[in-house]
């Protein structure tokens, strides 16, 4: 929601709902966070199928929805040309690096780690995945007109969503292969992550409500929507 004192182009005081960050952009953010988080958690838990699925979600789903949002695929590649001033450009570069390094690392994992400089490739893949998971939080936090997002907590929220989503998906994919002790342990970890997300959401709502007037309106609308459900 915009906090501009003028309501759109009508020169009236008030607030209006933003239309730029639409459903395709939300889907792109979801694919980026889920895919990168799934890759990271699968690597930590030694689950190569999850790494492959994470790469597919991020490297196919995220660009598809970004192109759907931009509307002009032939010119969309130009978004990568401003890494000095745009988190979108940095994120696109990270996706390219993540795709290359992630694919090479996954192949190396299936081959038993025979490729030279395997640790370097793994480090690059992890670093790129972290950027992919977090950069949209930086981009959203720079949207000062949307009070609910205008906070330094957004990048940490993106990372938390990514790791939790990846952990839940790995648990579901691998759950039948685990013993009762392992299932209980991972379920406890996921429960802690979900609790952390709840605390993060409450913190974002608290910061917005006690921030600008626009943030207070956004927080009230979100709370009412949740109660209505």
Domains of the chain (ranges; CATH) run 23-228 (1.20.1630.10)
- Tens place of pLDDT per residue across the chain (229 aa): 444 444 555 555 555 555 566 677 778 888 888 999 999 999 888 888 899 999 999 988 887 776 765 655 555 556 566 666 666 778 788 898 999 999 998 888 888 777 787 789 999 999 999 999 988 888 777 766 666 777 778 888 889 889 999 988 888 887 655 555 666 677 787 788 888 888 888 877 777 666 665 555 555 555 555 545 5
Report the C-alpha gap between 58 and 32 in whole angstroms: 5
- pLDDT of 1 reads 45
DSSP state of 83: T
DSSP E strand boundaries for the chain: none
Residues 6+ positions from 112 with CB-CB distance below 8 Å: none
Q: Are 40 and 129 in contact (CB under 8 A)?
A: yes
- pLDDT of 22 reads 63
- pLDDT of 130 reads 93
End-to-end CA distance of the chain: 21
pTM: 0.73
């Amino acid at each position: 929601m915009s906090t501009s004192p003028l309501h759109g182009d009508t020169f009236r005081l008030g607030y209006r709902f933003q239309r730029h960050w639409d459903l395709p952009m939300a889907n792109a953010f979801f694919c980026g966070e889920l895919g990168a988080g799934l890759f990271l958690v699968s690597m930590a838990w030694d689950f190569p199928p999850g790494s492959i699925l994470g790469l597919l979600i991020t490297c196919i789903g995220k660009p598809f929805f970004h192109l759907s949002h931009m509307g002009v695929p032939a010119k969309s590649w130009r978004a990568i040309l401003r890494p000095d001033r745009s988190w979108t450009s940095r994120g696109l570069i990270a996706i390219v690096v993540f795709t290359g390094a992630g694919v090479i690392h996954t192949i190396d994992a299936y081959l038993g780690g025979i490729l030279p400089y395997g640790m370097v490739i793994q480090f690059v893949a992890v670093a790129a995945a972290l950027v992919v998971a977090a950069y949209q939080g930086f981009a959203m936090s720079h949207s000062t007109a949307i009070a609910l997002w205008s906070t330094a907590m957004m990048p940490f929220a993106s990372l938390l969503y990514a790791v939790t989503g990846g952990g839940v998906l790995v648990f579901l994919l691998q759950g039948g292969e685990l013993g009762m002790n392992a299932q209980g342990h991972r379920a406890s970890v996921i429960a802690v992550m979900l609790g952390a997300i709840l605390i993060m959401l409450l913190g974002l709502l608290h910061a917005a409500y006690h921030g600008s007037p626009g943030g207070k309106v956004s927080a009230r609308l979100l709370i009412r929507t949740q109660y209505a459900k």
